[in-house]
A = this chain, B = another copy of it.
Amino acid sequence: MIKNKSVKKIKKVLVSVYNKSQIIPFIKILNENNIEIISTGGTKKILEENKIRVTSVESITQYPSILGGRVKTLHPKIFGGILNRSEIQADVDELKKHEISTIDMVIVDLYPFLETTKQTKDHDKIIEKIDIGGVSLIRASAKNYKEVLIIPSISSSTEILQKLINQNFFTSLEDRLFYAKKAFEITSQYEIDIAKYFDKYNTDTNKLSKTFTHYISKSQKLRYGENPHQKGRYYGDLEKLFTQLNGKELSYNNLLDLDAAINLMEEFDETSFGILKHNNACGFATCENILSSWNKALAGDPISAFGGVLVTNSHVDIHVAKEINKLFFEILIAPSFCEESLELLKTKKNRIILKKKNINLGEVSFRSVLNGVLSQDKDHITDDENIETVTEINASKKQMEDLKFASKICKHTKSNAIVLVKNKQLIGLGCGQTSRVDALNQAILKAEKFGFILDGSVMASDAFFPFPDCVQIAQTKGVSAVIQPGGSKNDNLSIDYCNKNDMAMVFTGNRHFKH
């Protein structure tokens, strides 16, 4: 498709950069190789101080920089030098007629618009950092990549320098196309940042802005999507989140599970262990040490744990590692590991072992739906305070701890969800159900299947009870206390039932649907 596959030698470079000092070593090498450097006032001064010979833009355009530097390079002598096509005779003739020299390479470093919005609230200062000339230079050079090599940022310049030296300052069409692509990535991100600023500035304080603008240039191909016949890709930088110490490549479903696992574990400060399958917990416990936490988490559902995602907020020592090592699992994520435990766990080469870093997981979530996107603030409420007792009897201190523990797990379980807990151990969970009663029945069945005594356990529900059926069923099984949002027209029916049967019930006021 590309007609002109020529290799080109660089002879003349235009430099227009905001961060001037960083570019000096690069320009120096160009200059030492007899490449002519063109630049505007400020840059020229600094380059000359570093003994680099520079032609001024003004001497080419025969026009001064005006309006406080707002108009410097926007001139036909510059843009003609960039946008001409050597294979078109009319272009060649016009260059000659108007005494325009071709420019082979353009180096731009844009005004730091986004950084400025973070440093100041001064609107005028921010607006001044909207780069007009620099963006025009980048775009013109990238459009004409058959003739021009565009270096659209300082970081790109360090990449390309060694290559240029190795190639004796010749560039291939492939090189130029590569940087043209990069150029439009950079201008896209720059425009989105400006549009976002105007959007917020113009309108509201809502974190969900009126336009959906996302641009992520870093990505990795995944083996496949949720299923082998679907292609999949992750956009972002996983290395910021964790270090992979062992195991095969992370899959689409691994990442989905990890998201659920990490967000769930964020709720807990005390030593805890969780086991997830299909984004839901099948085991979870908080205990005085990591070994007991692990044992109690696994006991919650040792069958589902097979092939699961394991997550802890504590240091993995050799004692717990020996126990974990007995299970077939997909992923283990922890903040740290002792050498010995790592060695042991690494004996199975497919096991994914991740060392978690501390990072903020952001404020907003989104997903594609119905040819558009649904976005929302994340559910950042943890029901630790503002819990209101609505029954005649209060929950005991121990019950209250279990209620809060159950509520945290419930919040991270797919709706409809019911969670049964005893002594900070998940003993039964019903999730993803179309009816709340079904969720409860499922939680009870699982608890009984794995030998738990429900007497003295507590129940959490992610949404209110429209009828008293759930508390009735729970009570007959021995559940002693309940935590739920409240807010149904029929709250009183559930409250009355609890009062007649010596159960404690507390309201959080916060529903926790999750789909």
- A residues with a Cβ closer than 8 A to B are 1-3, 61, 63, 66-68, 70-71, 74-76, 78-80, 83-85, 88, 90-91, 94, 98, 121-124, 127, 130, 132, 135-136, 139-140, 142-143, 177-178, 180-181, 184-185, 187-188, 190-192, 194-195, 198-199, 202, 206-208, 210-217, 219, 221, 224-238, 240-241, 252-253, 255-256, 258-259, 262, 276-280, 282, 301, 303-304, 308, 359, 361-362, 364-379, 381, 414-416, 429, 431-435, 437-438, 441-442, 445-446, 510-515
Contacts and interface: CB of A to CB of B under 8 A. Distances in A.
A138 to B, nearest CB: 10
Centre residue among A85, A214, A441 by max chain B CB count within 10 A: A214
A2 B369 contact: no
Given A210-B233, A256-B369, 15 more contacts: A1-B121, A67-B80, A70-B84, A71-B79, A74-B79, A130-B143, A132-B139, A181-B199, A192-B192, A211-B215, A213-B214, A214-B214, A230-B378, A301-B434, A367-B367
A402 to B, nearest CB: 21
A177 B202 contact: yes
B432 A432 contact: yes
A513 B227 contact: yes
Contacts of A301: 434-435
Contacts of A215: 192, 211-214
Contacts of A372: 216, 234-238
B230 A376 contact: yes
A248 to B, nearest CB: 17
Q: How many copies does the complex hold?
A: 2
Contact of A135 (B139, B217, B259, B364): B139
Contacts of A416: 278
Contacts of A88: 68
Given A232-B374, A233-B375, A279 B214 contact: no
Contact of A510 (B127, B214, B229, B514): B229
Contacts of A432: 278, 280, 414, 431-433
Contact of A438 (B178, B229, B304): B304
A433 B417 CA distance: 11
Contacts of A240: 371
Contacts of A241: 370-371
Contacts of A359: 371
A180 to B, nearest CB: 6
Q: What 5 A-B pairs come out closest when comparing CB atoms? A: A236-B372, A432-B432, A225-B376, A367-B367, A212-B235
B435 A282 contact: yes
A217 B373 CA distance: 11
Contacts of A362: 368, 371
Contact of A253 (B124, B142, B438, B515): B515
A85 B226 CA distance: 55
Contacts of A375: 232-235
14 contacts: A63-B76, A70-B79, A132-B139, A229-B510, A232-B374, A233-B375, A234-B374, A256-B515, A259-B370, A278-B415, A278-B416, A301-B435, A303-B435, A429-B434
A304 to B, nearest CB: 4
B184 A194 contact: yes
B192 A188 contact: yes
A238 to B, nearest CB: 7
A195 B184 contact: yes
B438 A381 contact: no
B230 A379 contact: yes
Contacts of A216: 211-212, 372-373
Nearest to A211: B217
Contacts of A3: 124
B377 A230 contact: yes
B68 A91 contact: yes
B236 A371 contact: yes
Contacts of A61: 76
Contact of A180 (B70, B71, B198): B198
Nearest to A437: B303
Contacts of A85: 67
A143 B131 CA distance: 9
A360 to B, nearest CB: 8
A331 B365 CA distance: 25
Given A230-B378, A367-B366, A435 B188 contact: no
A265 to B, nearest CB: 13
Contacts of A198: 177, 180-181, 184
Contacts of A122: 1
